[in-house]
Amino acid sequence: MSSPPLQAIPSDTASLADYERHAGTRLDVPTWAWLQGGAADELTIRANRDAWDRLTLHPRVLRRLAGGHTRTTLFGRTLAHPVILAPVAYHRLAHADGEIGVALAAAAQGAGLVLSSQASTRLEDVAQAIGSDPDRGPLWMQLYIQPDRAFTRDLVARAVASGYEALVLTVDAPTSGARDRERRTGFSLPDGISAVNLRGVRPSLKVSLRPGQSALFDDLLHHAPTWDDVAWLRSITHLPILLKGVLHPDDARLACEQGAHGLVVSNHGGRTLDTVPATAHALPRVVEATQGQIPVIVDGGIRRGTDVLKALALGAQAVMVGRPYVHALATAGARGVAHCIRLLRDEFEIAMALTGCATVADIGPQVLCRTD
């Protein structure tokens, strides 16, 4: 059976913002609200983007740049460039290509991929689709620790057996945020799309609440993970563990003390708690707190190659992008995702060259123009 033809990329697509514009016409209103929406008044979503925009760059001239490259290393592995696709649930909501298409696109462009535990495709199938590609980027697995710890142990074992190279533990969502935009549309998953890797997880036992008790504090949060669970996770796997959702320097220091192997400075794309700091503002403080002990990655509002450069100048080793590649997936399937990554990498190379940086190692605070 022949493969279906690749979907065409709209001819007026020159930036990640163009993919967002096209995706808005392709997804139904509830799905668009689920993807784009954030917590409460969505101030953090806007702050993420504004913070990158407010940082300005210092160009340099007449530098020796021939032979430069974007290669970097993480956990002893060489990456073609420091762009990683963040975990986003239910790719098949955006396009039939789903997680397989995203994985193939990431592999074709040498980008890292973090598969969501709420993926709509089996983790084994995603790994098998790209596992033999020698030029692919790293393949990591995102986790929420389930109340059913035995299920979580089995899920980790499946990831290890399938060749996933690290675990990304989301730590900033012991409860969901108040996502008004999503709730107004009545979003729900359509038939045929589900978190297939979480099938079989035993639901937590419901507590019979007494009058005046809270469904959150007196029930749900009894099962929320703690630092003890980070130690437990370390005890059941040899894979590196990154904590995703760290904004406070004290938590960064604790992560180092508890043996975390890396951090992702993230505010969950503005989807959990509104009015928290933009990740560009939190990043330098987290980097300082780690004192170079572990790598730091950042996400939240990355839309341009200049944002990637700014993130590395502030101390990040790599960036993650989430919504933009889903916009590209919704617009043009796997081909769109590959093009989205290429656009970001091309812009990053241009930004490097125009600030006098031939390699990632050349990028530092000196590329930022301080206006204070």
Residues with catalytic roles: 268
Which residues in the chain belong to E strands, given as ranges?
56-57, 72-74, 77-79, 83-85, 112-115, 139-143, 167-170, 241-244, 262-265, 296-298, 318-321, 368-369
39 in Cβ contact with 179 (< 8 Å): yes
Torsional class of 275: left (φ above 0), alpha (ψ -120 to 50), beta (otherwise): left
Residue type, 130: I
Query: Residue 48's closest CA among 269, 273, 287?
Result: 269
359 half-sphere exposure, CB direction, 13 A CA radius: 6
Nearest-5° angle of CA 321, CA 322, CA 326? 125
Tokens for 25? 């016409």
Query: d(Cα 189, Cα 31) in Å, to the nearest integer?
Result: 9
Query: Residue 23's closest CA among 320, 336, 246?
Result: 336
104 half-sphere exposure, CB direction, 13 A CA radius: 13
